[in-house]
Structure 1
Amino acid sequence: MATQDQMTDVINRLSNDISGFLGACIVDMETGMPLASKSNRGDFDLEVASAYNSEMVKAKNKTIKALGINSQLEDMLLTLSDQLHLIKMLSPSTFMYLAADRQSTNLALLRSAVNRETADLN
């Protein structure tokens, strides 16, 4: 497991690398609590996002199991009219959640930055 400083450094690098960065956190799936987080908007509550996204990841894992799919969840993309939200699994018990303005970035750049910056956290 990565240290608090390592997780914070990854999020800070992502906030600098991604145009339109709104917020990101690394989440403990069991508790739904962020282990490290940063938001560029005061109204973007990452604790609420962490809790609800952990439930969504748990539900997707249950769906995979119910369908008998022999595969692991890597990431999930939520496309809103003005935002991109990416959930990247870091381990079976942690994931990164990142939100960015859709007009300022694109999915390929977002995924590339997240994959590059989180590679050492696995």
Structure 2
Amino acid sequence: MATIDTALKEIMSSIEGSIGIAVVDYNSGMALGTLGGGPDLDLNVAAAGNTDVVRAKLRAMELLNLNEAIEDILITLSGQYHLIRPLTARSGKGLFLYLALDRNRANLAMARHQLKKIEADLEV
């Protein structure tokens, strides 16, 4: 089982094109841990903003009576991919991983695969 810090480091080092990663509490919008980012990507602001995305999707699913779980949410920008992955383990309830990728360097399918694998080992 990986801690938050270990998981963040593994994501940044093993997923090609990673710009920044955060573990976020979608009840408060607070980032519990971040790594990467920079002047063009404030991960704390992104964490709070993407909390609204997760909440909106959960509300929409409830209104539609969808009895499904969100695997991930993908936001495609002209130069970046943003992946949001709710944690599925009991200890991760109410949390999600937010990963920003450089679209020119990232392999989206591999990034999703790696993120799923790391998320499964994460202990919060």
Asked if these proteins are the same fold (TM beyond 0.5), I'd say yes
Deviations 1:41-74 (A, max 9, x none): 2331011000010111000000000011111222
- Residue of structure 2 equivalent to 1:114: 115
Runs of 5+ unmatched residues, structure 2: none
Q: Which runs of 4+ in 1 moved over 6 A?
A: none
Identity, % of aligned pairs? 37
| Equivalent-residue separation in structure 1 for 2:110 and 2:21 (angstroms) | 15
TM-score under structure 2 normalisation? 0.89
Q: 2:18 matched to 1:21?
A: yes
Letter in 1 for 2:111: L
The answer as to whether partners of 1:10 and 1:117 remain within 8 angstroms in 2 is yes
| SS across alignment from 1:105 | coil
- Residue of structure 1 equivalent to 2:99: 98
Letter in 1 for 2:122: L
The answer as to whether partners of 2:16 and 2:111 remain within 8 angstroms in 1 is no
- Residue of structure 2 equivalent to 1:55: 52
Q: How does 1:17-96 map to 2 (within 5 A)?
A: 17-91=14-88, 92-96=93-97
| Equivalent-residue separation in structure 2 for 1:40 and 1:51 (angstroms) | 14
Matched length: 119
Runs of 5+ unmatched residues, structure 1: none
The answer as to whether partners of 1:21 and 1:40 remain within 8 angstroms in 2 is no
| Equivalent-residue separation in structure 1 for 2:62 and 2:87 (angstroms) | 19
State the Cα RMSD in Å: 1.6
